[in-house]
Every structure is written in C-alpha cells, then in structure tokens.
Amino acid sequence: MSHAREMLDASPGPEDLGVVEIAAAIDACADCAQTCTSCADACLAEDDVAAMRDCIRLDLDCADICGATQRVLSRHARFDAALISRLLLACVHACAGCAKECARHADHHDHCRICAEVCRSCERACRALLDEEALKELQALAGG
Amino acid sequence: MSHAREMLDASPGPEDLGVVEIAAAIDACADCAQTCTSCADACLAEDDVAAMRDCIRLDLDCADICGATQRVLSRHARFDAALISRLLLACVHACAGCAKECARHADHHDHCRICAEVCRSCERACRALLDEEALKELQALAGG
Amino acid sequence: MSHAREMLDASPGPEDLGVVEIAAAIDACADCAQTCTSCADACLAEDDVAAMRDCIRLDLDCADICGATQRVLSRHARFDAALISRLLLACVHACAGCAKECARHADHHDHCRICAEVCRSCERACRALLDEEALKELQALAGG
Amino acid sequence: MSHAREMLDASPGPEDLGVVEIAAAIDACADCAQTCTSCADACLAEDDVAAMRDCIRLDLDCADICGATQRVLSRHARFDAALISRLLLACVHACAGCAKECARHADHHDHCRICAEVCRSCERACRALLDEEALKELQALAGG
C-alpha cells in the first residue's frame, strides 16, 4: 500500500469517494511528473535534440499538470468535484499527448519508451476518476 | 511592459496568438498564485482559523492551478489550444471559487479582500483567452 | 526498481554519480512532497486545527522544497554539485523540522505519525547524497 | 506597491522582519521563475538548440528553485530563518549560474539578454535577505 493510500485512510474526510481510485491517481500523477521531468532532461542530452523539441515541451507541460493534479487530489478532505473534473480533463489530455509523442521515439530512446508507458498509466488512472458525465463532455470537446 | 510580454516578443514562435492577452494571463496567474499562497498563510495565523479552513484549501488549490497554468502558458513556441483550454477552464473555476470564499471574509480580513480582487482579475484574464467554443462548454458544464 | 532508477539508467549522462543513491533521493522526495501535502490537508480538517498551525506550515514548506529538489535531481545529465548541495541542505532541514513537529502529534493523529516517518526517510536519503566534500565547500562559502 | 507587499502588510505575523526586503525577494523570485520558464522554451525553439542545452537546464533548475523560494518566503507568519537561509543560498547560486550562461548568448538571443538581467536582479534581492548572522550559522552547521 502506498503512502498516498495510507494518508487518505488516516485523514478526516468523506469516506465514499473511492479512496482506492484517488490514491491510484495520486501515485500515477507523481510517477508521471517525475518521469516526464527526467525524460525531458534525457531528450535534451541526445544527439538528435533538434528532433526531440516537441517531446521535451510535451514532457514539461505534462510534468507541470500532473504535479498540480497530484497536489489538488491530495487535498481530499474537501473535494470540489467540478474543479477535479476540469483538472483531470487537462491531465488526461496532457498524458495522452505526451505518450503519443514519446511512443514515436520509443525504439531509439529507451527513456521515451518508459515515459510513454508511464504516461499511459497515468492517463488511465485519471480517466478512472472521471464519471460518465465528464467523459461525455470530453467526447464532445474532442469532436468539436 | 512586464517581463512576460518582453519574453514573448523576444521568443521564436507563432505571432498571431494574441501576445498581449497571453502575457496578461501569465502575469495574472503568477500574481494570483503568490497572493493565494500568502492568503493561506495569513488565514492560518488568524484567531478564527477554524472558520477559515475552506478558504485555506481553496487558496492552496488555486495557487497550484494558477502556477501550472502560468508555466504552460509561458511555453508559447508550441501552443496546444486544446490543452490550454482545458487548463484555463480549471483555472477559471479555481479562481472564481477562491474569490467567492475570500469575499465572504473581506470585511474582517484585509488579506482576503485583496486576494478576492486578485482572483477575480486572474479569472478575467484567463476567460479572455477562452474562445466562444470553450465558453459554451463551460456553460454546459456549469448547467449540468 | 522505481521509474526514477529506470529513467536514470536509460538517460545519457555521467555514469559515476551514484545512480542508486540519486534515484533513492528522487523517490524519497516525491513521496515526502505528496505525504506532506496530504498531512497539511488532514491537519486542517482536525478539530484541534488551532494546535496544528505549525505542523501545517512545516508540511507546506517541506512539500515545496522536496518538490523542487526532486525536479532538480531528476535533471541528471548535467549535474551541478554545488547547487545540489545547497538544495539538499535546505531539504534536509525542512524534512527534519517537519518530522519533529509531526512526531509531537503522532499519538493522536495517524497522518502525522506516517508523515513523520516519511520525512525521516527523506532526510536520510538526502543526507546520503551530501558528502564530506560538499560540506567542506559549503564551509568555505560561508567563510568567504 | 506589489500585491506581495500588500499581503505581508495585511497578514498577522512578526513585524520586524524587513517586510520591504521580503516582498522584493518574493516579487523577484516570481519574475525570475516565469522568465526562466519562458527562456527555456524560447531556447528550445532556436536553430542552434544544441548549443543552448546548458542554458535550458539552468533555466529549468532556476525556475524550480525560485518557485519554491517564493512560496516559502510567502509563508511569513512563521519564519524559520535557518530554512530560509539555506534555500536562499541555493537560489542565489541558481540565479548566478543561469545569469552567467544566459549572458553568453545575450548578443544573439534577446530572450537570453532579458533573462540574464532578471536573474541578476533576483540574485541581488535574495542576497539582501542573507545577513551576516545567517552566513555564520551556516558555517557552524558545515563545521558540525
């Protein structure tokens, strides 16, 4: 059991909010923020840095958004569902975009292969917190 | 002219993206992140701290989201409109919620009065970057 | 093996820098930043919030410093030993202070008990990166 | 008067701590964090990106450390001088290193010229908070 889960169990606050899923999303966001920061630095050190610019930027954006999402999710005693949904929609988008770009470099840069996997995991963990309502909006948004 | 604006003018990148509005939103987010961090600390020092819990949490969430928004907006050379819109929707919501709660304490805590004003300014600056399309989604979301 | 360690192994960069210790410090800082954010929120929800003010502030400072330390350590391809030492000294101090205060509340707040342990682990992981060399250099700096 | 200064004036807390200097350092750190984030992105978009790697990394480290310093300084109601000193020493080092590297590119990249100036200003504002006392204490620590 991760400390995120232990801390949620030890905290005052609503009990019916899916502690397992929230802890999983917190852990996934923390992991993704770190991995993306590391991947941006590794990309910058590669010989083909000019070809890695988009990847670096997507890594940096993803790290910042996952970091903020992790912190907001960690404040679980007062849960603003509307705020969380908006933030998760941004986070899912950032993870999906970063995973897609990293996957393009996965065969020649091992750090991109790992980062693509971590981003996909984070995308899944965040999607699991978004209810039907929010996903419909996401679909409408994506179709627009 | 703020450094945010000077830096956008000095950066390679698309020129038709409303540099004035982006710089204004960057400055407003930076200002709001700092003010909310400061307001949370001041609330925590007040005699009526138990009545200020919601305000403190909203301050902390708003600071984190404004901080991430500011950083993503500052990466302007490659602009992902869909990501920015999602993040701005979260930021507008965080600022509006924090402004509303701070306003409730404005007459007895001067830091809350200032913070409410700064949050409203940031909300406006972020809304100015959201096009009609995004605002309609926001409206649908708020009505749901 | 954590992703931090996998990413360091997969990254271009100096190989003689103690990858195991760096990865351990990155993981410990990420864990500590999240746990402290969560502990601050749990403290804020407790009935005796007025007695928890110092704990909340120490949690928030520790979360911010661990977060920055984790990000700087993750940029391992170019390693500025003097910068890392200074940052680690701040991080060790923040973790030790937060652990001490949390320990005072450990018997009545389980989140503080967990947080104290996590802070102590992070303090140890950061100290392990601070060698004699760094401490001597720091002394020279302070005398200069 | 900046909001940082207004907020310090409006906050409960010790009054003899040099509010003018603290507010100046908060503003300088916020400005520097934003400018460095922007400079890293602009460097990444330049044709000579391979020559800008060090600059990008120094920008990213400086942005993270200035960001954390700004947040810790903003929690002024409870002021841990030893923590602040350690953090300021890291911040001064990061700003000086980033300014030096940016200055090397100032004549061909306008964003680096601006960033070098902003980093120097932040270095000065942080140094102004580091008194003799703090440096002596640090020396004692390093010798202990």
Q: Is the dihedral of CA B116, B119, B123, B129 positive or negative?
A: positive
Give the dihedral sign, CA A31/A32/A37/A40: positive
Share above pLDDT 70 across residues of chain A, in percent, rounded to a whole number: 88
Distance from CA of B131 to the nearest CA of D (A): 24
Mean pLDDT to the nearest integer, D57-73: 98
| Nearest-5° Cα angle at C40, B56 to C22 | 130
Nearest-by-Cβ selection for D46 from B12, B63, B70: B12
Q: What residues in C contact D57, CB-CB < 8 Å?
A: 75, 77-78
CA separation, residue B87 to residues A35, A86, A101, B62, B127 (Å) = 21, 7, 20, 12, 11
Using CB atoms, pick whichever of B44, B57, B60 lies closest to residue C53.
B44
Q: Which of D40, D45, D42 is nearest to D57 (CA)?
A: D40
**In Å, how far is A45's CA from the nearest CA of chain D?**
8
The pLDDT value recorded for residue B17 is 64
What is the pLDDT, as a whole number, of residue B80? 85
Record: contact C44-B50, CB cut-off 8 A: no
Of the pLDDT bands very low, low, confident and very high (cuts 50, 70, 90), residue B29 is very high
Query: What is the spatial distance between Cα C88 and Cα D19, in angstroms, rounded to a whole number?
Result: 27
Q: Diameter of chain A by CA atoms?
A: 51
CB atoms under 10 Å from CB of C100, counted, come to: 13
- Between the CA of residue B19 and those of B26, B100, C42, what are the distances in Å? 10, 29, 41
- Beta-carbon separation of A49 and D49 below 8 A: yes
In this predicted model, what pLDDT tens digit does every residue of A107-131 receive, in sequence order?
Answer: 999 999 999 999 999 999 999 999 7
Residue C32 C-alpha from the chain's centroid? 6
* C-beta separation of B95 from B119 below 8 A: yes
CA dihedral for D38, D41, D46, D50, sign (positive or negative): positive
The stretch B112-130 carries a mean pLDDT of 96
What are the residue ranges of helices labelled H in D11-52? 19-45
CA distance A14 to A34: 29
* Per-residue pLDDT reduced to its tens digit, A32-88: 999 999 999 999 999 999 999 999 999 999 999 999 999 999 998 777 888 999 999
Residue of C nearest to D79 (CA): C57
Q: Is pLDDT at B143 greater than 50 in this prediction?
A: no
Query: Residue A102 corresponds to which tokens in the numbers above?
Result: 């990293």
Determine the Cα–Cα distance for residues D62 and C72; give it in Å rounded to an integer.
9
Task: Tell which residue, D39, C8, C6, D46, has the closest CA to residue A42.
Answer: C8
* ipTM, two decimals: 0.90
Q: What is the CB neighbour count within 10 angstroms for residue A2? A: 15
